Amino acid sequence: MASLQPVRGTHDLLPDEGRKHRHIADTARGLAARYGYEEVATPIFEFTEVFKRTLGDTSDVVTKEMYTFEDRSGDLITLRPEGTAGIARAVISGGLGQNLPLKFFYYGPMFRHERPQKGRLRQFHQIGVELLGVAAPLGDIEVIALGAHILDSLGILGRCKLELNTLGDVESRVAYRDVLVKYLSGHVDSLSEDSRERLNRNPLRVLDSKDEGDKRIVADAPAFGDYLTEAARDFFARVTDGLDALGIRYELNPRLVRGLDYYCHTAFEFTTDALGAQGTVLAGGRYDGLIETMGGPATAGVGWAAGVERLAMLAEGTQAPVRPIAVIPIGGAAEAAALKLTFDLRQAGFSIDLGFSGNLSRRMKRANKLDAVCAIILGEDEIAKGVATIRDMASGEQTTVPLGEIAAHLARHR
């Protein structure tokens, strides 16, 4: 702790990158609103139990990545590693289930104690949406369409592909889990150590293993598709039909398994190969059992989350900084007048930069660096005549304007 370094895996969002984040958040928020999803913000910490219960005791996120601490009242608190659990909790504690369906958008920091890498931080930001109370495939379709729409608006849909799978309903999963465990148990000696562990805790995850040996075994495993109930199969077919109808392209990936335990039916993931090892850009799925698991009424849910830092690395656009008008006093006598003019113009809705010090040349340089649209120059000559000189920074053209008419003269820059 000798040197002043930021905590590992955290970093400062300075103006340049901050504007990029805002561009992404604003784009997403705007489109979400167009689909009827309103922004909500839940606390960034919750009782640890909220995440333990919802994410599942077997997930890595819960077992080794949470920032958990005891607060001064002895409560066990966790910094949220993702957004869905907090929203589900809010739905229950606020009795929001009375007003289904609920359509929420969120944006904020998340915390996971992972090894930092490109596109993987310990404090990172996610945008996400949750649709609660819609059990029909139309919900899955809408949520995926919104995700695709946002990626498209950010100009990165073309570099992503949508992978899609179904995890079926509980009945399907129980049936499949049995045959899968039976099959894998027959090959237990050839499985990787990780997968042997998964076999006990969460066998579906073995399907997702990157180990070459595991892949060979998995290749001959019974297919989940054969064990789907008719209802689950039909549900998934209606989702894919809907995507087809909207012209949203996808690839079926039977190996796509979600890391968090609360998912069922549709699982999807927009991935890219432009980000190295961190290929997932926007991912989510259906989680019908979640709210009930937490002690609320049975409530259907679908949603997704996307990493803002990852989106920022892919997206080209950014929010342009505000171009100010520079007010430039020359000499001590003009400063009082400049101060007053500055604050009056700000009240009138203009974005004004009043350099804090320096002579005319220095202040002009500052105006130029800030990309000011124009400079209002106030010197002794001007003050004596009750006017100001307004210089258009692009053309260099200067006009003399009476002090009382400045606001009107600048109206187009408001």
Partner RNA sequence: GCGGGCGUAGCUCAGUUGGUUAGAGCGCCAGAUUGUGGAUCUGGAUGUCGUGGGUUCGAUUCCCAUCGCUCGCCCCA
Where b means 16+ CB within 10 Å and e means fewer, 371-406 reads ebbbbbbbbeebbeeebbbbbebeeeeeeebebeeb
Q: For residue 398, state whether it binds RNA (rule: CB under 7 A).
A: yes
Q: For residue 260, state whether it binds RNA (rule: CB under 7 A).
A: yes
Give whichever of 28 and 364 is closer to RNA, judged by the CB atom.
364
Residue 267 parent element (H or E): strand 264-271
Q: For residue 82, state whether it binds RNA (rule: CB under 7 A).
A: yes
Q: For residue 389, state whether it binds RNA (rule: CB under 7 A).
A: yes
**In angstroms, what is the minimal distance from the CB of 27 to RNA?**
16
Q: For residue 216, state whether it binds RNA (rule: CB under 7 A).
A: no
Of the candidates 118, 114, 145, the residue with the CA atom closest to the CA atom of residue 129: 145
| Binding segment toward RNA, per CB under 7 A, in 101-109, 111-119, 158-166, 314-322 | 111-119
Alpha-carbon distance of 283 to 30, in angstroms, equals 20
Name which of residues 325 to 384 contact RNA (CB under 7 A): 330, 358-362, 364-365, 367-369, 375, 377, 379-382
From 40, 66, 91, 121, residue interacting with RNA (rule: CB under 7 A):
121
Name the one residue in this structure whose structure tokens are 């040996």.
Answer: 213
| Binding segment toward RNA, per CB under 7 A, in 33-41, 225-233, 244-252, 304-312 | 304-312
Beta bridge partners of 303: 130, 285
Q: For residue 119, state whether it binds RNA (rule: CB under 7 A).
A: yes
**What single-letter amino acid sits at 178?**
D
What is the pattern of x (binds RNA, CB under 7 A) and - over residues 267-286? --x------xxxxxxxx---
**In angstroms, what is the minimal distance from the CB of 258 to RNA?**
7
From 29, 80, 120, 286, residue interacting with RNA (rule: CB under 7 A):
120
Name which of residues 137 to 176 contact RNA (CB under 7 A): none
From 23, 149, 161, 258, residue interacting with RNA (rule: CB under 7 A):
258
Per-residue 3-state assignment (H helix, E strand, C coil) for 131-170: EECCCCHHHHHHHHHHHHHHHHHCCCHHHCEEEEEECCCH
What is the pattern of x (binds RNA, CB under 7 A) and - over residues 2-31? xx-x-xxx-x--------------------
Alpha-carbon distance of 353 to 44, in angstroms, equals 35
Q: For residue 72, state whether it binds RNA (rule: CB under 7 A).
A: no
From 97, 101, 109, 116, residue interacting with RNA (rule: CB under 7 A):
116
Q: For residue 396, state whether it binds RNA (rule: CB under 7 A).
A: yes
Give whichever of 83 and 137 is closer to RNA, judged by the CB atom.
83
Residue 391 parent element (H or E): strand 387-392
Name the one residue in this structure whose structure tokens are 């999807």.
Answer: 268
Per-residue 3-state assignment (H helix, E strand, C coil) for 309-341: HHHHHHCCCCCCCCCCEEEEECCHHHHHHHHHH
| Binding segment toward RNA, per CB under 7 A, in 164-172, 208-216, 246-254, 348-356 | 208-216
Alpha-carbon distance of 190 to 195, in angstroms, equals 10
Q: For residue 292, state whether it binds RNA (rule: CB under 7 A).
A: no
Count of residues of this chain found to bind RNA when the rule CB under 7 A is applied: 70
Euclidean distance between the first and the last CA atom of the chain, given in angstroms as a whole number: 47
From 174, 223, 336, 394, residue interacting with RNA (rule: CB under 7 A):
394
**In angstroms, what is the minimal distance from the CB of 303 to RNA?**
10
Specify whether the CB–CB gap between 64 and 72 falls below 8 A: no
> Residue 110 is encoded by which pair of tokens?
């998340």
Q: How many residues appear in the chain?
A: 414
Give whichever of 100 and 274 is closer to RNA, judged by the CB atom.
274
Alpha-carbon distance of 399 to 377, in angstroms, equals 10
Q: How far is CA 190 from the centre of its chain?
A: 39
**What single-letter amino acid sits at 51?**
F
Q: Calculate the dihedral angle through the C-alpha atoms of 65, 71, 73, 74, rounding to the nearest 10 degrees.
A: 40
**In angstroms, what is the minimal distance from the CB of 231 to RNA?**
26
From 208, 225, 407, 409, residue interacting with RNA (rule: CB under 7 A):
208
Q: For residue 259, state whether it binds RNA (rule: CB under 7 A).
A: yes
**Which residues lie near RNA (CB under 7 A)?**
2-3, 5, 7-9, 11, 59-61, 65, 82, 112, 114-121, 124, 126, 194, 198, 205, 208-211, 258-260, 269, 276-283, 305-307, 309-310, 330, 358-362, 364-365, 367-369, 375, 377, 379-382, 389, 391, 393-394, 396, 398
